Amino acid sequence: MSLSTHVLDAARGRPAEGLPVRLERRAGTAWTPLAEARTDADGRIREWGGAEVGAGTYRLTFGTGGLSDFYPEVAVAFTITDPAQHYHVPLLLSPFAYSTYRGS
């Protein structure tokens, strides 16, 4: 199973380079940190440093304070049901709005 993300700075019309992102897995009611990474020059994180990701509920927390005075961070929780698939979780960010979806 693989997991990637892509962050676009919609206000500037370009990838969000160097954005910190934390990957966590839910265990009961608590979140367990698995990995941290920064987006590359294209705004992407393709690898999580060997963190094992299988079926379960996960959260990506994007440190967006450098791009938005209103949103210091954006947390996106999602469920992986089929570990054989690739999961891509993009984030489109502007100063006062954001959106996300399951990409390909």
**In the predicted structure, residue 29 carries a pLDDT above the cut 90:** yes
Per-residue pLDDT at 3 exceeds 80: yes
* pLDDT for residue 35: 97
Q: Does domain 2-100 have CATH number 3.40.80.10?
A: no
What mean pLDDT comes out for the span 8-28?
Answer: 96
Q: What CA–CA distance (Å, rounded) separates 104 from 23?
A: 19
Residue 71 assigned to a binding site: no
What would the pLDDT profile of 39-70 be if each residue is shown by its tens digit?
A: 999 999 999 998 888 999 999 999 999 899 99
Cα angle 73, 50, 33 (rounded to 5 degrees) comes to 40
The answer to whether the annotation marks 44 as part of a ligand binding site is: yes
d(C-alpha 94, C-alpha 10), whole Å: 5
pTM for the whole structure: 0.94
Q: What is the pLDDT of residues 64-93, one digit of tens each?
A: 998 999 999 999 999 999 989 999 999 999
**48 sits in which H/E element:** none
- Torsional sign, CA 13, 15, 16, 21: positive
DSSP label of 47: -
Contact 88, 101 (CB under 8 A): no
The annotation status of 102 as a binding-site residue, yes or no, is no
At 1 the pLDDT is 65
